[in-house]
Structure 1
Amino acid sequence: MEENKKLADLYCTECNYCMPCPHGVNIPLNFKLMNYHKVYNLTDYARAEYKQIGKVDWMKGNSAASCVECGICEDKCPQKIEIIKQLKETHFTLNSN
Structure 2
Amino acid sequence: MLREKLAEDLKTAMKSADPKTVGVLRLLISAINNKAIEKRTKTGSDVLTDDEVLQTLNGEAKKRKESVEIFIKGNRADLAEKEKGELEIIQ
Between structures 1 and 2, the one with greater helix share: 2
Give TM-score scaled by structure 2 length: 0.31
Q: Which has the larger radius of gyration?
A: 2
Give TM-score scaled by structure 1 length: 0.30
